[in-house]
A and B are shown apart, each in its own frame.
Chain A
């Protein structure tokens, strides 16, 4: 079946450090890939997405490239800020039979703490 595996946290970095959070997936067909961010006490916010192989999603300095050959969608940011402290979820979305959107499958989440 479909699944998402992302690196275990927590990840603690100093401000301005480089961030990588690894995410790999298993899926049949051609999934879309997403990164969601959850700040303390809040809901899930879409950070970025990629809908086909070699697409690069980017937002707020974060980037992730859809790599079909390695089934990966690693999240990167060149210089993290204290305000980036949150839990990051990698997610996979597939198309149902008939072309409609199916539900999302999430990774376990990676908690990022950025220290000043």
Chain B
């Protein structure tokens, strides 16, 4: 079965650089969620999109932005990177109206800022 695809798997950037993370949801899933997991931490919700519109916002820094495209894939853009942005970034997808059936997570993108 198709899963949530994230790219790249690993990314190394220098401070103050920009990074773009991509997420391809499960086919026909209409909602995408982004989470950030710092080393040894629990995943923290950043932002979600439904039908290309932002639907909910969590602890996403102003330096980050995200969007969902017409093919439902989503991109998380991170600018002016800081050392503290080093983390595992997860994308999850679901069907909006399928509460409470949960979410499927991708394998994550590990971002290292040096």
Contacts and interface: CB of A to CB of B under 8 A. Distances in A.
**Which range holds the interface residue count of chain B?**
20 to 34
A103 interface: yes
B106 A101 contact: no
Contact of A100 (B43, B90, B99): B99
A109 B42 contact: yes
A38 B42 CA distance: 11
Interface string A70-108: 000000000000000000010001011001111111111
A104 B42 contact: no
Given A44-B43, A96-B56, A106-B42, A101 B108 contact: no
18 contacts: A32-B102, A36-B105, A43-B107, A44-B43, A44-B90, A44-B92, A44-B105, A44-B108, A46-B105, A100-B31, A101-B94, A101-B95, A101-B96, A101-B99, A101-B103, A102-B56, A103-B45, A104-B43
Interface of B: 31, 33, 35, 41-45, 48, 50, 55-56, 58, 90, 92, 94-108
